[in-house]
C-alpha cells in the first residue's frame, strides 16, 4: 500500500512539472524579476505536495504578487496550511482547501507573514472546538480582542499592522478574520456589497464554509448568520464573494485574472433571476456587448459589475429586488436604462450610434425588513459567550490605552511650535496629539526616535512633519524605530538639498505629506534601498532632477497594455514595482511620484502629476505626452424647486464615459462653493464628461439626473425627491411616543438617539455620522438627546453640541427595539422615526 501511494505521488509530481505549469513558468519569468529562479525551483520541490500547491498558487497569482513573492515565504505558508488541515473540524474537499484555506492573502492588503504567528496563537483556542461554527465564533472573539471598527482610508492594511493599530474599517476586519480562520484550517472567503445602492455606503465581511453551506459573520455574536447588517443585506442588489483561482460553482458570475467572482445574494435575500437583452436599432441581438451595472451612491453612479452578452445578446444574473442603472456598448454603439426588477425580471436595451447620455430617472427599492435571518442557528457557546465578549473588549481597550502618552506629544508640539502661537494654537495642538495617539503600537517607536533627535532641531521638525502630515495607517505600518529614523534622515537630506528654492511650508505639505491616500505604497521599509538606486538622478536643479527621474523609469520600466488586475492583488512599494518591470501606466506614475519626493521635489495630484518649480505648479510630463487640459464649469442644484448647496460626493459627481467599454466612472475634478453655486474644473481626457446628481427619500429611493458638461458647462439641475415610503413614526405605541417626548423635555427641536445596551458597530457608525453633522444640527437650533444605559463618558463627544443633553437608563422603552433608534421631534411631535441600521437616516434628518 505504501508503494502505491508513493507511485501516485510521483506521478502527480511529474504531471505537475511537465503539464500545467508551462504558462505558470512563463508568467514567473516575466513578472518575478530577481526572484524567478527560486520560485521556479519551488515547483520542483522534493515534496510533491509542496510542489503541487505551489503550482496552484503561482498559476493564479497576480503579476503584483509574482513580483513580491519569495519561495521561502510561500513554502512556509503551504506547510502551515497543510498542518492546519489536521484539526478535527477541518473535514472538507480538496477543492475547498485549495481555494479557501491555502491562499496567503484575503484581498488587496500588502503581503505579510501572518500564518506562523496566528497558528501559534489561535490553535490553543480552537483545538477542542466541536465544529467549524464554534471555532469561527471563538476566532471572532479573538479578532475582537485585537481590533475594533474605525473608518480608515481606502488602501487596505494587513493583519499584523491592524493588530498593532488596534482598529480598521470593515475590509480590514474582514482581512484579519480570514487570515486567522485560515491559519487553523477553516475555509473562508471575502464577501461584500460593492455598494448598498439605496444609501451612500458599502460593506465587506466574511463568509465561512460549513457542512451546512456558506454562512456569514459580523461583530462577535453567539451564532453565525447573525449580524448587525442582516436587515441591510435583505435589500442588497448583489452580494459578491471572491475565490482565489478558478472555482467551479453554480453561482459563478465570472472567472477573470486568477479570481472567481461568485454571486452569494441567495444567502441573504430572495434574488430575482434577471435577463438583460441588448439589441441593435433593428432589434437584432448584439453578442459580446459590454453590459455595466451601477449603484447610485455618494451623489452619482458607481459601476459594480461588468459582463458580456452571449451569442443571443443576453446577460443573465440573479439580483436582489430593487433598481440598477445599466449601460451597454459595442464598438461605437451605446445604450442605457434603469432596470427595476420589482416590476419585471427582464429588460431590453437598444444600442444607438452616438454616445448620448442624458437622463432623469427614479431608482426604487424594497422596504426595510428588520426580521432575523431564518437561517441563523441558535447560540453555540451558551452563557459563557457574553463573558468572553466582554473580556475581549476589556483586553483590547487595556492594550490600546497602554500605548497612549498625550502629555509627551503635547510637549513635543510646544517645543516645535514655540514661536508660532496664534488663535488656532490650542486647536491645532489638540489635533496633533489626537493624531499621535492613533499611531497606537508605534507610539513608543516614534518616542524613541524623538528622544534620540532632541538636540537636532532639523531632525525633530522632520519627525513632527511626518506625524502631522502622514495618515496614521502609514505611520503604524513603519516596521520599527530604526526604519522611522532612516526615513526621517532621507527627508532631511532632501530638504537640505533644495532648501534655497523650496519654502518650508511647501516641503512639509508636498514632499513629506502624501500625494494621494488610497494610492500610497505600504510603508514597509522600502525607502533606503529605493533612494540608493535613484540618488544619482538628483542634481542641483529641480527641473533636471525631474527629467532624470522620468528618463530613468522610461528606460527601466515597460508599460504592459495587457497587464491583468486581480481582486487578489496586493499593493506594491516602488522596489517591488521595479522588480515587476512590466507594469500599467499608473504604477509608473506612482514610482515617479515616490522618487521625486524622496529626492526633495514637491509633488501633488490634480488629475495629473504636478511638480513645484519656479514658484508654480507644472505637469511632471511634457506637453506632448500630457495633452489633458482643465475645463471650467458651474453647477446649481435645485431639489423640489428649492436651491440647495451643490456638494461633491454628497449630491453630485463628475463622470467620464469610456468609449472602449461604455462604462461611466468617476473622474478628477476640483472646485469650491460660492454660496450655493459650485465653481469647478475637470480634466478633458478626450472622453465624454457628465455631471451626475442624486437625491433620496427616507427609503433610499433615488432621483438621478445625468447631463453633459461638454454641451453646457454652466448647468442647472432640477431634482425631485421620490415619494417617501418609509417612516415608523405612525406605528409607535403610545407608551413609546410618551417616553420619547418626555426625554425631549419640551424642547421644540430635538433629535433623540437610542443606543441600546451594546456599543456595536452600527451604533458607532450612526453615532459618528451624528458627530460629523453636529455643526449643521447646531445651526438649525436642534438639541440632541442620547438615551443609553452607558455612563455619560461613553458619548462625551456630544458635550460639544449646543444645548446637548445626555441621559441614561432607557428602561421605559420597549424591549424589542432594534437599535440604534432615531427620532426627530418638532413642536412636541415625533415627525420621523426609524429602527435599525440605516446610514442614510442622518442625511435624511438633515434634509428634513
Q: Taking 70 as the threshold, does the pLDDT of residue 724 lie above it?
A: no
pLDDT of residue 773: 79
Place of cell 458599502: 202
C-alpha cell of residue 90: 477541518
| Whether 473 contacts 152, CB under 8 Å | yes
Q: Taking 80 as the threshold, does the pLDDT of residue 721 lie above it?
A: yes
**What is the distance between the alpha carbons of residues 104 and 197, in angstroms, rounded to a whole number?**
31
How many Cα atoms sit within 13 Å of 154 on the Cβ side?
7
What's the average model confidence in pLDDT over 354-377? 74
**What is the distance between the alpha carbons of residues 797 and 800, in angstroms, rounded to a whole number?**
6
**pLDDT-above-70 percentage for the chain:** 90
> Three-state DSSP class for 463?
helix
Place of cell 442625511: 843
Q: Taking 60 as the threshold, does the pLDDT of residue 684 lie above it?
A: yes
Confidence class for position 18, pLDDT limits 50, 70, 90 = very low
**What is the distance between the alpha carbons of residues 152 and 111, in angstroms, rounded to a whole number?**
19
| Whether 269 contacts 235, CB under 8 Å | yes
pLDDT of residue 627: 65
pLDDT of residue 294: 95
Confidence class for position 840, pLDDT limits 50, 70, 90 = low
**What is the distance between the alpha carbons of residues 47 and 52, in angstroms, rounded to a whole number?**
9
**What is the distance between the alpha carbons of residues 710 and 821, in angstroms, rounded to a whole number?**
45
pLDDT of residue 794: 44
pLDDT of residue 683: 87
pLDDT of residue 790: 53
Give the model confidence (pLDDT) of 277-326 as tens digits: 999 989 999 999 999 999 999 999 999 999 999 999 999 999 999 999 99
Q: Is 452 exposed, middle or buried (0-12, 13-18, 19+ CB in 10 A)?
A: middle
Which of the pair, 355 or 429, is modelled with greater confidence? 429
pLDDT of residue 215: 95
Q: Residue 67 to residues 32, 103, 553, 576: CA-CA distances in angstroms?
A: 4, 16, 17, 6
Confidence class for position 152, pLDDT limits 50, 70, 90 = confident
DSSP 712-780: -SEEEEEE-PPPP---GGGG--HHHHHHHHHHHTT-SEEEEEE--SS--HHHHHHHHHHHHTHHHHHHT
Q: Taking 50 as the threshold, does the pLDDT of residue 766 lie above it?
A: yes
Handedness of CA 658, 660, 662, 665 (dihedral sign): negative
Q: Taking 60 as the threshold, does the pLDDT of residue 3 lie above it?
A: no
| Whether 760 contacts 144, CB under 8 Å | no
Q: Taking 60 as the threshold, does the pLDDT of residue 649 lie above it?
A: yes
Which of the pair, 93 or 775, is modelled with greater confidence? 93
Q: In 137-147, which positions are buried (b, 16+ CB within 10 angstroms) versus exposed (e)?
A: bbbbbbbbbbb
Bridge partners (DSSP) of residue 317 are 274
Confidence class for position 177, pLDDT limits 50, 70, 90 = very high
Q: Taking 70 as the threshold, does the pLDDT of residue 815 lie above it?
A: no
Angle at 273 between CA 269 and CA 279, to 5 degrees: 145
Give the model confidence (pLDDT) of 65-124 as tens digits: 999 999 999 999 999 999 999 999 989 999 999 999 999 999 999 999 999 999 999 999
- pTM score, whole prediction: 0.85
Confidence class for position 31, pLDDT limits 50, 70, 90 = very high
**What is the distance between the alpha carbons of residues 84 and 115, in angstroms, rounded to a whole number?**
10
Q: Taking 90 as the threshold, does the pLDDT of residue 553 lie above it?
A: yes
Give the model confidence (pLDDT) of 380-404 as tens digits: 888 899 999 999 999 999 999 999 9
| Whether 163 contacts 147, CB under 8 Å | yes
C-alpha cell of residue 302: 458607481
Confidence class for position 804, pLDDT limits 50, 70, 90 = very low
Give the model confidence (pLDDT) of 467-521 as tens digits: 999 999 999 999 999 999 999 999 999 999 998 899 999 999 999 998 988 789 9
pLDDT of residue 771: 77
Strands across the sheet containing 783-788: 805-808, 783-788, 749-754, 821-826, 829-835
Pairing verdict, β 290-297 and 300-308: antiparallel
| Whether 690 contacts 357, CB under 8 Å | yes
C-alpha cell of residue 720: 425631485
Of the chain, the end-to-end C-alpha distance in Å amounts to 77
| Average pLDDT of the chain to the nearest whole number | 88
| Whether 546 contacts 596, CB under 8 Å | yes
Distance of CA 324 to the CA centre of its chain: 22
DSSP 16-73: HHHTTHHHHHHHHHHH-GGGHHHHHHHTT-SSHHHHHHHHHHHHH--HHHHHH--HHH
Alpha-carbon dihedral 758, 759, 763, 769, rounded to 10 degrees: 160
Confidence class for position 797, pLDDT limits 50, 70, 90 = very low
> Three-state DSSP class for 682?
strand
Give the model confidence (pLDDT) of 691-713 as tens digits: 999 999 878 899 999 999 988 99
Bridge partners (DSSP) of residue 611 are 603, 618
Amino acid at each position: 500500500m505504501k508503494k502505491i501511494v508513493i507511485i501516485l505521488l510521483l506521478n502527480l509530481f511529474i504531471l505537475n512539472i511537465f503539464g500545467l505549469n508551462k504558462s505558470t513558468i512563463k508568467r514567473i519569468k516575466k513578472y518575478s524579476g530577481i526572484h524567478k529562479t527560486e520560485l521556479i525551483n519551488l515547483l520542483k520541490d522534493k515534496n510533491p505536495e509542496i510542489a503541487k500547491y505551489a503550482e496552484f498558487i503561482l498559476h493564479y497569482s497576480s503579476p503584483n504578487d509574482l513580483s513580491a513573492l519569495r519561495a521561502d515565504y510561500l513554502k512556509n505558508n503551504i506547510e502551515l496550511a497543510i498542518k492546519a488541515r489536521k484539526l478535527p473540524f477541518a473535514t472538507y474537499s480538496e477543492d475547498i482547501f485549495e481555494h479557501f484555506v491555502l491562499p496567503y492573502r484575503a484581498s488587496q492588503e500588502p503581503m505579510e507573514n501572518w500564518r506562523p504567528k496566528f497558528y501559534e496563537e489561535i490553535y490553543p483556542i480552537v483545538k477542542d472546538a466541536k465544529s467549524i461554527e464554534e471555532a469561527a465564533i471563538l476566532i471572532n472573539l479573538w479578532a475582537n480582542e485585537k481590533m475594533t471598527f474605525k473608518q480608515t482610508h481606502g488602501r487596505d492594511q494587513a493583519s499584523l499592522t491592524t493588530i498593532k493599530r488596534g482598529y480598521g474599517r470593515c475590509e480590514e476586519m474582514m482581512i484579519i478574520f480570514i487570515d486567522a480562520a485560515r491559519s487553523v484550517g477553516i475555509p473562508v472567503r471575502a464577501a461584500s456589497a460593492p455598494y448598498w445602492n439605496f444609501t451612500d455606503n458599502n460593506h465587506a465581511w466574511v463568509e465561512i464554509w460549513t457542512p451546512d453551506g456558506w454562512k456569514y459573520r459580523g461583530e462577535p455574536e453567539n451564532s453565525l448568520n447573525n449580524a448587525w447588517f442582516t436587515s441591510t443585506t435583505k435589500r442588497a442588489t448583489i452580494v459578491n464573494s471572491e475565490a482565489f483561482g478558478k472555482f467551479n460553482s453554480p453561482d459563478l458570475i465570472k472567472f477573470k485574472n486568477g479570481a472567481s467572482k461568485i454571486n452569494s445574494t441567495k444567502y441573504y435575500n430572495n434574488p430575482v433571476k434577471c435577463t438583460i437583452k441588448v439589441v441593435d436599432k433593428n432589434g437584432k441581438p448584439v453578442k459580446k456587448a459590454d453590459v455595466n451595472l451601477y449603484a447610485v451612491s455618494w451623489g452619482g453612479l458607481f459601476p459594480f459589475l461588468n459582463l458580456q452578452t452571449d451569442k443571443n445578446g443576453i446577460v443573465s444574473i440573479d439580483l436582489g429586488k430593487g433598481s440598477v442603472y445599466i449601460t451597454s456598448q459595442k464598438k461605437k454603439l451605446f445604450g442605457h436604462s434603469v432596470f427595476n426588477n420589482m416590476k419585471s425580471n427582464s429588460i431590453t436595451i437598444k444600442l444607438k450610434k452616438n454616445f448620448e447620455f442624458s437622463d432623469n430617472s427614479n431608482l426604487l427599492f424594497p422596504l426595510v425588513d428588520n426580521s432575523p435571518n431564518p437561517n441563523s442557528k441558535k447560540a453555540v457557546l451558551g452563557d459563557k459567550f457574553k463573558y468572553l465578549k466582554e473580556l475581549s473588549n476589556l483586553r483590547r481597550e487595556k492594550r490600546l490605552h497602554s500605548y497612549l502618552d498625550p502629555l509627551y506629544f503635547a510637549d513635543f508640539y510646544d517645543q516645535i511650535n514655540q514661536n508660532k502661537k496664534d488663535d488656532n494654537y490650542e486647536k491645532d495642538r489638540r489635533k496633533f496629539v489626537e493624531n499621535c495617539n492613533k499611531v497606537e503600537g508605534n507610539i513608543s517607536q516614534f518616542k524613541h526616535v524623538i528622544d534620540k533627535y532632541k538636540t537636532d532641531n532639523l531632525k525633530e521638525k522632520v519627525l513632527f512633519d511626518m506625524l502631522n502630515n502622514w495618515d496614521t495607517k502609514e505611520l503604524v505600518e513603519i516596521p520599527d524605530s530604526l526604519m522611522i529614523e532612516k526615513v526621517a534622515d532621507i527627508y532631511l537630506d532632501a530638504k537640505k538639498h533644495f532648501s534655497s528654492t523650496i519654502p518650508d511650508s511647501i516641503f512639509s505639505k508636498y514632499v513629506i505629506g502624501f500625494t494621494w491616500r488610497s494610492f500610497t505604497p505600504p510603508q514597509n521599509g522600502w525607502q533606503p534601498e529605493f533612494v540608493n538606486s535613484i540618488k544619482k538622478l538628483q542634481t542641483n536643479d529641480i527641473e533636471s532632477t525631474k527629467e532624470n527621474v522620468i528618463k530613468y523609469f522610461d528606460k527601466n520600466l515597460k508599460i504592459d497594455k495587457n497587464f491583468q488586475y486581480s481582486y487578489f492583488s496586493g499593493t506594491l512599494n516602488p522596489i517591488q514595482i521595479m522588480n515587476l518591470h512590466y507594469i500599467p501606466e499608473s504604477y509608473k506614475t506612482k514610482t515617479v511620484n515616490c522618487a521625486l519626493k524622496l529626492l526633495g521635489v514637491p509633488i501633488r495630484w490634480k488629475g495629473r502629476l504636478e511638480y513645484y518649480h519656479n514658484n508654480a505648479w507644472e505637469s511632471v510630463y511634457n506637453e506632448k505626452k500630457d495633452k489633458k487640459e482643465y475645463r471650467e464649469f458651474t453647477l446649481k442644484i435645485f431639489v423640489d424647486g428649492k436651491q440647495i448647496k451643490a456638494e461633491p460626493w454628497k449630491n453630485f459627481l463628475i463622470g467620464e464615459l469610456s468609449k472602449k467599454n461604455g462604462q461611466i466612472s468617476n473622474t478628477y475634478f476640483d472646485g469650491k462653493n460660492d454660496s450655493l453655486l459650485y465653481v469647478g474644473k475637470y480634466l478633458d481626457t478626450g472622453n465624454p464628461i457628465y455631471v451626475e446628481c442624486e437625491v433620496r427619500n427616507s427609503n433610499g429611493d433615488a432621483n438621478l439626473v445625468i447631463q453633459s458638461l461638454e454641451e453646457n458647462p454652466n448647468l442647472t439641475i432640477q431634482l425631485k425627491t421620490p415619494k417617501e415610503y418609509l417612516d415608523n413614526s405612525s406605528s409607535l405605541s403610545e407608551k413609546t411616543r410618551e417616553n420619547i417626548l418626555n426625554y425631549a423635555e419640551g424642547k421644540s427641536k430635538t433629535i433623540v438617539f437610542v443606543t441600546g445596551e451594546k456599543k456595536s458597530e452600527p451604533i458607532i457608525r450612526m453615532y459618528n455620522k451624528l458627530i460629523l453633522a453636529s455643526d449643521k444640527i447646531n445651526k438649525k437650533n436642534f438639541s440632541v438627546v442620547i438615551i443609553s444605559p452607558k455612563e455619560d463618558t461613553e458619548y462625551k463627544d456630544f458635550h460639544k453640541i449646543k444645548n446637548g443633553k445626555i441621559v441614561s437608563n432607557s428602561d421605559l422603552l420597549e424591549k424589542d427595539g432594534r437599535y440604534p433608534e432615531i427620532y426627530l421631534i418638532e413642536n412636541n411631535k415625533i415627525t420621523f422615526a426609524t429602527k435599525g441600521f440605516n446610514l442614510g437616516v442622518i442625511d435624511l434628518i438633515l434634509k428634513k
